[in-house]
Amino acid sequence: MKDVIQETIASYEIKAEEYIRNTDQLSYFPDLPAMLDMFLSMLPGRHILDIAFGSGRDTFYFIEHGLKVEGIELTQAFIDSLRKKIDIPLYKMDMRGLTFKDSSFDGIWCCSAFLHLPRTDALRTLKGFYRILRAKGILYIDLKEGNGEMWVQNNDGHVTEMPRFFTYYQLEEICALLLDAGFRIEYTRKQRHPKHAYKHSWLNIIALKNK
């Protein structure tokens, strides 16, 4: 059986320069600044974790707005690239096995990353997010709407000709998992990128750690 995470990361390693080039500007994603600003407005403090930071686009946005940011990634090429540009704590770490202490962060930003996890890993990963958040901490997560799991190539142009594993969710399903993990749902949105003919709508969710 394929190790879907390792093979997906291998695709990102091969196409790292292409992915960074295609995703490193907020102007490419006109719906994203509204989510970034909403996330910032809801934070109970200034210390956040950027999970699977990729090109570092959102990391820079947070730093520019005065946040203390740490980041994790599994793609070494993304880590190496961002380390050349900025001096913040960056770790090679799997979101399914976070090694941070309990109640370490005021917020978690997980953009375009959770969707690569197998569905069987979803709930325990969300519980790990909950554990490292402080009381009233905020989680942002986004996914592609749909059903099932599959390998995809050339799905959106950010990584071409390389297979990546995707898990698709209905909004009700991911919200139920977040509730099971202890979160309270604060905001949801379904949207399509106006300049790209994605096959799937995006689901944007902000959730609160209750205690």
Query: For 146, left (φ over 0), alpha (ψ -120 to 50), or beta?
Result: left
**Whole-number pLDDT of residue 99:** 98
Domain count, the chain: 1
The answer, yes or no, to whether residue 197 has pLDDT greater than 60, is: no
Higher pLDDT, 199 or 73: 73
- pLDDT average, residue stretch 141-150: 95
Question: 26-57: string of b/e by CB count within 10 Å (b at 16+)?
Answer: eeebeebeebbebbbebbeeebbbbbbbbbbb
64 contacts: CB under 8 Å, gap ≥ 6: none
Q: State the pairing for strand pair 202-209/183-191.
A: antiparallel
pLDDT over 50 at 137, yes or no: yes
Q: For residue 95, give the nearest of 121, 69, 77 by alpha carbon.
A: 121
Instruction: Give residue 204's Cα distance to chain centre.
Output: 11
The amino acid sitting at 184 is R
Supply the CATH number for residue 39's domain.
Answer: 3.40.50.150
pTM attached to this predicted model:
0.94
- For the segment 70-93, the average pLDDT, to the nearest whole number, is 98
Question: Distances from the Cα of 200 to the Cαs of 3, 14, 111, in angstroms?
Answer: 24, 25, 16
Instruction: Please check the confidence at residue 155 and state whether its pLDDT lies above 60.
Output: no
Distance CA(11)–CA(107), nearest Å, equals 29
Predicted confidence (pLDDT) per residue in 24-43, tens digit: 999 999 889 999 999 999 99
Task: Report how far residue 37's alpha carbon sits from residue 40's, in angstroms, rounded to the nearest whole number.
Answer: 5
Instruction: Find the domain containing 73 and state its range.
Output: 4-209
Mean pLDDT of 148-156: 81
* pLDDT score, position 1: 43
* Residue 193, pLDDT above cutoff 90: no
Burial class from Cβ neighbours inside 10 Å (0-12, 13-18, 19+) for residue 143 reads: buried
Task: Indicate if the pLDDT at residue 194 is higher than 60.
Answer: no
